[in-house]
Structure 1
């Protein structure tokens, strides 16, 4: 007679969202407090955006009745946006910001990718010296006056390149991308070299397709920086026709200047000045707000994985 062993039931599967055994269940007070804090944060972000948007599409009568910023819309008036896109200084500033953002992001990505890939491979010429030179800028910053003298000394004063070249390489983005490249298995690159591929072909065919996440994140960082360029424009740009949108927005809101419109709007009733200011704010914020959701899914993989190695 054979003895039968008792069957042990398999351990219950843990649900994906189940809490670990050492973590206590949340209480009603804790859950309510978290929900309340989250609601306050969401309102603190959405309410100002709502007020700016509503004010930008309000008429002069509505703004006068509200005493300034409008919270509850009454009638929709798009004359402020028609004024912005009808030509003049604001349209020119939008074109300048778009041009600087596109060219600057492309230049920065090329420089960052080449520098990060070259310094991520051990044994490259001047590896330690160049890496120390890059990382030294985390501790030592040249200062405003030397930077201004360098930019003006090489002839970039009042040029759009003054908004691009001084910030073409961000060391933080370089460190993140270099760490990401270091995570790529060296055996994969060695096998490509055995097959006769050069370094540029390896970078183009193997490394870049595997690095879409970090490139998307770093590209967004650069694009936001170039789109929001203001201080460099204040320092290096004197020609009003070369002002980016952030510089024009600063002149409208802080300096209280009135927008310069094209000749087609002469004799036409101008929309409220406050509505134009808020419309410029909306146009300034909208591009980044629209692009961010498409890149958000790459943030965890691109930044956190790229920051594992330093």
Structure 2
């Protein structure tokens, strides 16, 4: 267990966050329980964050800023904390997501992280390893704040129909996930197409991949395998994957027809309609 009296603010963004939270709380003359009451969290949770044993969320940070009058300090710090808690091999991907002007993703069997609900993300992350699952889920969901940026990237997702049918997390979690996909239907910056199983052989049979386009930098192709990443700006690879993506998008259903297919899957598999 971390000793709060020995907490080193320079050890990591999480330690620095905890150090500052404790310092600001004590300066305000508040106990852990009192601050927890103001934030609508338990004093125990506040203590765990102060001692770097618990990862803060953006919501907690916003409430802490309001309660302690810190002018957005914790809301800024939490971005660093969450990014630092990503697996080392994935941190570059988070950076690409933040810098890109357009992201194009193809997924063969599951909904990608930027579009996952909490329940779905937790089921995916906990399939083999349930340690620190709550914190790891919060870190993944925090990446979705990229959509809230003023210059948020245009996002294209082509999902295999198989991703709609693989029941990850159970019926209720899956229904919620599919409904979440439909919530982007009128969002012009988030475009979701479904590649139906009926297309047969297609340009993405070799696996999932992402394309990151930038205003002035070369396009990056990203693929991953078990516990490792493979980003590359190799012109031949970029050209090949860009052509593959064009073919996948052409073979996929239109945005409107994709949404209708998702609705039918919800109705057929879970017995109720999604508006």
Q: Which of the two has greater strand per residue?
A: 2
TM-score normalised by the chain length of structure 1: 0.21
Structure with the bigger percentage of helix: 1
Identify the structure with bigger relative contact order (alpha carbons < 8 Å, sequence gap 6+).
1
The alignment's TM-score, normalised by the length of structure 2, stands at 0.23
**Higher alpha-carbon Rg:** 1
